[in-house]
Amino acid sequence: MRIPSFLRRNGAFACVLAGAVLLAAAGCASTRVGLREDMTGKQYFHPTNFHGETRLSADLRRVILLPVYGGSIVPPETAATLEEVFATELQKEMRFEVVRLSRTDCQMRFGAAEFSSTSVLPHDFLATLGREYAADAVLFVDLTAYQPYRPLTLGVRSKLATIEQTRLVWTFDEIFSADDPAVGNSVRHYYGSTDSAGIPHETGQGALQSPSKFAAYVAAATFNTLPPR
């Protein structure tokens, strides 16, 4: 879907990002082993609040991962730590080449270390990134909820937008809580942490108590819903 040029002036692109634009087709999740449902009959958490194009276009090759936006939800140092986790899981998906915009560079170039997908963006923000990084799209990751103690909770809103023609390719918005049995099963399954009797191993069970391990599962589950190639 093309956005008229008048919507891209004076920060109006932020309104497009914030508007929950319906895309042409629902995203199809890939089947990375760590996220597949097994045959034990257990319930697993499957994100549903996402929309995406059927497939990534052939000309979408390089994507800039923007600094993770913590806003008032998490302090900058926590956002920076989680940013490493999200970058690692995104690269594992191998959907496209990932180029990271550091928080330092973002601050120097645009006057802020992070931008939300619902922010009013600086003038020529996307055009500048596309030109200087030879990128085809940008990926926003916003933290919408965060609880680093039991039950661990992490909310993620993420959007993939092309630089040319400012088209939303994929949007995602979910809250993951370790208090949800389906989420707990998915975390343990992601870490391959049950024996033949279904008893959790320490690694998977520990992930339900470790903010960084829990975040790795969340990031994997999030980016697993990106449109396939």
pLDDT tier at 109, thresholds 50, 70, 90: very high
Name the fold adopted by 5-18+58-175.
Rossmann fold (3.40.50)
Buried b (16+ CB within 10 A) or exposed e, 138-157: bbbbbbeebeeeeebbbbbb
CB 169 within 8 A of CB 157: no
Which of 64-78, 87-101, 152-166, 180-194 has the least mean pLDDT? Answer: 180-194
- The average confidence (pLDDT) of the chain is 84
Report the alpha-carbon angle 70-163-77, nearest 5.
Answer: 15
Mean pLDDT of 131-141: 97
CB 161 within 8 A of CB 168: yes
Strand order, beta sheet including 97-100: 50-52, 168-177, 153-162, 137-147, 62-65, 97-100
pLDDT tier at 68, thresholds 50, 70, 90: very high
What does DSSP assign to residue 32? -
pLDDT tier at 20, thresholds 50, 70, 90: very low
Query: 14 or 150: which carries more pLDDT confidence?
Result: 150
102 pLDDT higher than 80: yes
What pLDDT is stored for residue 41 in this prediction? 65
Which of 11-15, 46-50, 141-145 has the least mean pLDDT? Answer: 11-15
> What are the structural domain ranges in the chain?
5-18+58-175
What pLDDT is stored for residue 152 in this prediction? 97
